[in-house]
C-alpha cells in the first residue's frame, strides 16, 4: 500500500483492541480521507504487511467495510474502494438533509452551554480557515460542527444513520476546496444555525439546517458531476 496506512495521523490507537479493529480503522480512515481513491484496489496481503499482521484480520476488516458500503468485494477480482454513483449520491444527500433537519430540531431543547461553546469555537476555527484560504481544513471541521450539535439527542439510532450517510460520501470535505465560494456561504449559514440554537427556536434550526444541506447538495452534485466528466475524458 506504499505506506498509505502507516502514514495516517491516528489518534485512537488505544481503542484498537484487536488486529481486525486496527485494520478496519486504518482502512476506513484512509477511505474517508481519500488517501485511498474510489475504485482503488485493496490488496489484503499488502495491507497486512504494512500493518504488521496476518491477512486474516485484514479480510475481516474488508468484510465489515463492505457491509458499510465503503468497499466492494468481487469474486476472483478482490476488494476495491467503492465509488458512489451520481444518482445514489444525489439520493444520499437528499436523505441526509431530512435526517439532519430532524436531528437539529430534536437537539434544540436539549442544547447545553457547553455544546454551544463547542459550536462557537468550531465556527470560529472555520472562519480562520476561510480567512487563510485553507478550504480543505474548513471542510474537515464541517462534519464535527454538525455532529457536535446532534450529539445531545437521545435518539442514537438517528445519529448513527446520519453518520452512515456522511461516510458514504468520503469526498464531501474536498468540495470546499473545489468550490471555495461555497465555504463562505456555508459559514454564514453555520452562524445563522448557531444563533437559532442559542435562541432555542427548534423550527428555525430545522429549516435552516434543511436549507443548508439542500444548498450544499446542489453544489456538491455540480462539483462531482464535473469531476466525473473530466475523469471520463482522461480515461476515454
Q: All domains of the chain, ordered by start, with CATH? A: 13-81 (1.10.10.10), 86-235 (1.20.120.530)
- The yes-or-no verdict on residue 57 having pLDDT over 90 is yes
* Nearest-angstrom CA–CA distance, 20 and 6: 15
Going by pLDDT thresholds of 50, 70 and 90, the confidence category of residue 87 is: confident
What is the dihedral angle through the alpha carbons of 34, 46, 59, 36, rounded to the nearest 10 degrees? 10
CB-CB contact of 224 with 89 (8 Å): yes
CB-CB contact of 146 with 97 (8 Å): no
Among the ranges given (50-54, 115-119, 158-162, 171-175), the one the predictor scored with the smallest mean pLDDT: 171-175
Going by pLDDT thresholds of 50, 70 and 90, the confidence category of residue 83 is: confident
Going by pLDDT thresholds of 50, 70 and 90, the confidence category of residue 1 is: low
Give residue 87's region: left, alpha or beta (phi > 0; psi -120 to 50).
Answer: alpha
- The yes-or-no verdict on residue 9 having pLDDT over 90 is no
CB-CB contact of 53 with 8 (8 Å): no
- pTM, whole model, 2 decimals? 0.70
The pLDDT tens digits for 202-227 are 999 999 999 999 999 998 888 777 76
Give residue 85's region: left, alpha or beta (phi > 0; psi -120 to 50).
Answer: beta
Question: If you average pLDDT over every residue of the chain, what do you get?
Answer: 87
- The yes-or-no verdict on residue 199 having pLDDT over 70 is yes
Amino acid at each position: 500500500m506504499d505506506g498509505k496506512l502507516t502514514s495516517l495521523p491516528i489518534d485512537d490507537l488505544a481503542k484498537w483492541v484487536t488486529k481486525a479493529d486496527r485494520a478496519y480503522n486504518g482502512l476506513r480512515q484512509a477511505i474517508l480521507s481519500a488517501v485511498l481513491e474510489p475504485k482503488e484496489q485493496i490488496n489484503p496481503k499488502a495491507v497486512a504487511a504494512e500493518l504488521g499482521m496476518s491477512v486474516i484480520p485484514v479480510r475481516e476488516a474488508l468484510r465489515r467495510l463492505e457491509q458499510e458500503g465503503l468497499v466492494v468485494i468481487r469474486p476472483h477480482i478482490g476488494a476495491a474502494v467503492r465509488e458512489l454513483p451520481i444518482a445514489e449520491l444525489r439520493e444520499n444527500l437528499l436523505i441526509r438533509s431530512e435526517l439532519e433537519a430532524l436531528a437539529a430540531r430534536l437537539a434544540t431543547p436539549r442544547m447545553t452551554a457547553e455544546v454551544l461553546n463547542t459550536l462557537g469555537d468550531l465556527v470560529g476555527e472555520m472562519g480562520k480557515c476561510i480567512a487563510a484560504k485553507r478550504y480543505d481544513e474548513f471542510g474537515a471541521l464541517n462534519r464535527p460542527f454538525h455532529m457536535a450539535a446532534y450529539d445531545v439527542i437521545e435518539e442514537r439510532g438517528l445519529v448513527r444513520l446520519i453518520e452512515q450517510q456522511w461516510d458514504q460520501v468520503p469526498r464531501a470535505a474536498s468540495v470546499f476546496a473545489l468550490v471555495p465560494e461555497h465555504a463562505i456561504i456555508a459559514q454564514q449559514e453555520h452562524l445563522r444555525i448557531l444563533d437559532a440554537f442559542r435562541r432555542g427556536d427548534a423550527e428555525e434550526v430545522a429549516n435552516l439546517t434543511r436549507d443548508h444541506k439542500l444548498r450544499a447538495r446542489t453544489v456538491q452534485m455540480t462539483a462531482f458531476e464535473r469531476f466525473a466528466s473530466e475523469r471520463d475524458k482522461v480515461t476515454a
